[in-house]
Amino acid sequence: MGIQFDEMSNGIIMDVLREIGNIGAGNAATSLAQMIDKKIDMKVPVIQLLDFDEVPELLGGPENIVCGIFFKFEGDITGSIMFVLDQKSALNLVDLLMPRDNPEFDEFTVSALMEIGNILSGSYIRSLSGLTNLQIKISVPSLSIDMAGAILSVPAIEFGQLSDNVLIIQNEFIETQEAKSVDGYFFLIPDMESYDVLLGSLGVTL
């Protein structure tokens, strides 16, 4: 069971989701730059609406080790958001905040990733809330370092009965001074009822 839209509806939805993704990505880049006090460039985000089954390949295959920071959101709409990075991008992201001697996922690295993920995901949710005038808040984050297939099983199981689709916003942030690149994926997964509320708040009727 999943949300089914005709071709015209899909076009409208993707236009709306691209706008949300563009604004959210810009705000996330600004938040990251303020946090690390360095200039951050951002490539134009790539925004896709995919079936869950297609997502692991986007992350390098189901056995590729990735870092996933997972949140629930609630309020006028409900669902989940996940920020996923490969290992290199995750460590680069922490190094931008505070260079480390230890290249492993130690306690400090995990704590820093959760805090950065919280700030970046909050930027997306605030953008979504501001664009729609909906009241939305996110939960305390949880972090996992595991194979992509295992990481993605969390939202897939929780929302698989409501929707087969996931909005993916691919961002590449580049710290210009050290030329460190962070390639991350935001997954926005509203529940089925929230699609109608979300689009209705933007004046879109299907």
Confidence of residue 8 (pLDDT cuts 50, 70, 90): low
The pLDDT tens digits for 17-65 are: 777 778 888 888 888 888 878 788 878 788 887 777 788 888 888 899 8
Average pLDDT over residues 94-99: 77
What pLDDT, on a 0 to 100 scale, did the predictor assign at position 36?
78
Asked if residue 145 has pLDDT above 80, the reply is: yes
Name which of 173, 147, 154, 195 is nearest 45 in CA terms.
173
Torsion angles phi and psi, residue 100, rounded to 5: -125, 155
**Helix or strand or coil: residue 39?**
coil
Confidence of residue 13 (pLDDT cuts 50, 70, 90): low
The pLDDT tens digits for 163-200 are: 566 778 888 888 767 667 888 888 877 777 787 787 78
What pLDDT, on a 0 to 100 scale, did the predictor assign at position 74?
92
Domains in the chain: ranges and CATH: 7-201 (3.40.1550.10)
Could you tell me the CA-to-CA distances from 172 to 43, 44, 89, 183 in Å, in that order?
Answer: 6, 8, 10, 4
What pLDDT, on a 0 to 100 scale, did the predictor assign at position 154?
66
Asked if residue 161 has pLDDT above 80, the reply is: no
Q: What is the pTM for the complete model shown?
A: 0.79
Instruction: Compute the distance between CA of residue 65 and CA of residue 59 in angstroms, rounded to an integer.
Output: 9
